[in-house]
Amino acid sequence: MSSALISSLTDLLGHDRILTESATVESNSRTCIPYRQLPEVLVYPTSAEQVQGIVRLAKQHQVPIWYVSTGKNWGYGEKTACYPGGITLILERMNRIWEVNETLGYAVIEPGVTYQQLNDYLKSHHPSLWADCSGSTATASVIGNALDKGRGLTPYADHFGCLCGMDVVLPDGQLLETGGGPSGNNHAKHTYKWGVGPYLDGLFAQSNLGIVVKAGVWLMPAPERFEWAAFEYTTSDDRIGPFIDDLRQLVFSGALRSRPHLANDFAMMCIVSQYPFDLLDGARRLSEDAMARWRQQHGVARWTFGCGLYGTPAEVRDQKRRLGRVLRRYGRLQFLGMAIEDNWLGRLTRTVAPLVNRAMGKSESFMEALIPGINLFRGIPTDHFARQVYFKSHAQKPLGDIDPARDHCGFLWTGPVIPFTSEHVLRGLALAKDIFARYEFDFFVEVIIESPRAILMLIGVFYDRHDEADGARARAWYEETRQEFLAAGYPPYRTTTMSMPDSQAHNPVGDAFLGTLKQAVDPHNLLAPGRYGIGAPPPAD
């Protein structure tokens, strides 16, 4: 990279917003996945105008820009590009909350605004509104997660679906306002998604056609009543199929309004325990017997999920009745939402529930996850569950300052989209389990309810970030899993940086169409080339 470009970027941003020293670039570009490319420079703009300036300078000097919000998409690629060198643009210092409209239920924010920041602001200034959050980390970007089609847990769990109206820096440095109305004077920009003509917002999700520097996000009115249910599947495995179909009907009927994650035993044990290396007995993964012994130490069921209940007191009573009538056929159901209330009933629940659960063999760490788990369904972010990714790579999970990329944790996610029927879900589970067995990884899966029509099957592996062979095994597992699910007709809902360049290859016509769009708006292919398969990444030097 030329000294002239570095000098111009420094003039534009100031010395404290540009990193060029190799050790600093390395420490700020770490990743959890078994793939990594280092940029030549990291830049931290604080305004849309500075982003426009960076884009124009990159165009002038023909240098590619990879851009992220806060880079906290742990297990998918973090800040690493799919090519070496160039500029990595990090938007975390653009963290202004421009507006909250309490009447219409939306906020206008920049991409550096985190779940924690937005939640704190709403609690202080607009407590009648909730913001959905992911279960990953409180310091993730609200906009960044939405643009990568991340998911939450409340009825507003569709994060991209809750974006409405954007300001976007285009590859030529112009600022585009979406929303289909007059620029600077569109009162419906953040209330009506579709605008007039083609819907533009979708062009900037999982793409490289523009950098979103501001967006509206819809907020959830706080319900009159909130409750929470914890379910554990305790019946025989041969009833999983009917259970899946009944669960779908609960979502369709509105009895289940939140979007829970149905976690298998290994996924739950990541949260409540450290990895039991002593149970491996020379193997690379736990046997069924070892898994059963480990599970029983903490009182964890084969499948577990929590869910929120929302509405008037009468509506919540009805949801509890309908959930109880169906779910108790398959296992244990508890209603514990009152545990968060600061009244006599809440205090009683917080006293009695742990006693009951301890009597049923639940460990202390299992109970520690209760309140953070309940709060997620109220849109209150937490780092409690991000701690799970340390459970195999570190002797203890950290209590705070969570940053698994910085701390050399190795893990990797993929998430096929599967129709919400027992036939498809069981087929997906069997396919995943077979690949896990071949590569000798412990079987981690969460069945995430996306809608009444589809689930996201989040599957992942934990590997040794310091062991090159173990990283190669994780990459091989990932590639086979990705290809096998594509061949079965189940595409991923998002992908990692290392597989992005060919992520459109399975759809040649779509690939060519996106390439035509990219050539039209970014003829020099400088804005995140190769991101989600759009425009080829530059060759390595």
How is 340-369 classified by DSSP, letter by letter? G-SSHHHHHHHHHHHHHHHHTT--HHHHHT
What is the per-residue pLDDT across 73-131, written as a single tens digit (0 to 9) for each? 999 999 999 999 999 999 999 999 999 999 999 999 999 999 999 999 999 999 999 99
Q: Does residue 346 carry a pLDDT above 80?
A: no
The per-residue pLDDT for 345 is 63
* 123-132 core/surface letters (b: 16 or more CB in 10 A; e: else): eeebeebbbb
What is the per-residue pLDDT across 264-294, written as a single tens digit (0 to 9) for each? 999 999 999 999 999 999 999 999 999 999 9
Q: Does residue 365 carry a pLDDT above 80?
A: no
- Name the pLDDT band for 336 (thresholds 50, 70, 90): confident
Q: Does residue 445 carry a pLDDT above 80?
A: yes
Helix axes 468-487 and 422-439, enclosed angle (nearest 10): 150
The per-residue pLDDT for 148 is 97
Q: Does residue 344 carry a pLDDT above 70?
A: no
Would you give the DSSP letter of residue 178?
A: -
What is the per-residue pLDDT across 460-470, written as a single tens digit (0 to 9) for each? 999 999 999 99
Q: Which two tokens stand for residue 32?
A: 């959890």
Q: Does residue 337 carry a pLDDT above 80?
A: no
What is the per-residue pLDDT across 498-515, written as a single tens digit (0 to 9) for each? 999 999 999 999 999 999
Report d(CA 138, CA 134) in Å as an integer. Answer: 8
Give domain limits for the chain.
Answer: 97-221, 225-378, 411-493
Distance linking the first and last C-alpha atoms of the chain: 12
Report d(CA 474, CA 439) in Å as an integer. Answer: 8
Taking all residues of the chain, what is their mean pLDDT, rounded to a whole number?
A: 94
DSSP codes of every residue in 75-95: TTTTT--SSSSSEEEE-TT--
Q: Does residue 361 carry a pLDDT above 90?
A: no
DSSP bridge partners of 335: 229
Q: Which helix (H) or strand (E) holds 312?
A: none
The per-residue pLDDT for 342 is 63
Longest CA pairwise span in the chain (Å): 70
Phi-psi region of 165 (alpha: psi -120 to 50; beta: other; left: phi over 0): left
- Name the pLDDT band for 341 (thresholds 50, 70, 90): low
Q: Say how many residues make up the chain.
A: 541
The per-residue pLDDT for 254 is 95
Q: Does residue 482 carry a pLDDT above 90?
A: yes
Helix axes 265-272 and 288-298, enclosed angle (nearest 10): 50
The per-residue pLDDT for 1 is 80
Q: Which of 69, 51, 70, 58 is nearest to 13 (CA)?
A: 51
Report d(CA 243, CA 392) in Å as an integer. Answer: 31
What is the per-residue pLDDT across 20-40, written as a single tens digit (0 to 9) for each? 999 999 999 999 999 999 999
How much helix, strand and coil, in percent to the nearest 5, is found in the chain? 40, 20, 40
Report d(CA 70, CA 65) in Å as an integer. Answer: 15
The per-residue pLDDT for 162 is 98
- Name the pLDDT band for 208 (thresholds 50, 70, 90): very high
Rounded average pLDDT over 442-455: 98
Q: Does residue 390 carry a pLDDT above 80?
A: yes
The per-residue pLDDT for 352 is 61
Instruction: Look up the CATH number of domain 97-221.
Output: 3.30.465.10
Q: Does residue 343 carry a pLDDT above 80?
A: no
- Cα 455–Cα 459–Cα 461 angle in degrees, nearest 5: 170
Instruction: Look up the CATH number of domain 411-493.
Output: 3.30.70
Rounded average pLDDT over 60-79: 96
Report d(CA 322, CA 17) in Å as an integer. Answer: 54
- Name the pLDDT band for 158 (thresholds 50, 70, 90): very high
Q: How far is CA 285 from each of CA 275, 392, 442, 480, rounded to the nearest angstrom?
A: 10, 12, 5, 18
Rounded average pLDDT over 341-357: 63
Q: What percent of the chain has pLDDT over 90?
A: 90
The per-residue pLDDT for 181 is 86
CA pseudo-torsion sign 109, 111, 115, 116: negative
Q: Does residue 10 carry a pLDDT above 80?
A: yes
The per-residue pLDDT for 360 is 61
Sequence letter at residue 168: V
Rounded average pLDDT over 160-176: 97
Report d(CA 327, CA 440) in Å as an integer. Answer: 33
Q: For domain 225-378, say whether CATH 3.30.70.3040 is its number.
A: no
- Name the pLDDT band for 369 (thresholds 50, 70, 90): confident
CA pseudo-torsion sign 274, 278, 283, 289: negative
Rounded average pLDDT over 420-428: 98
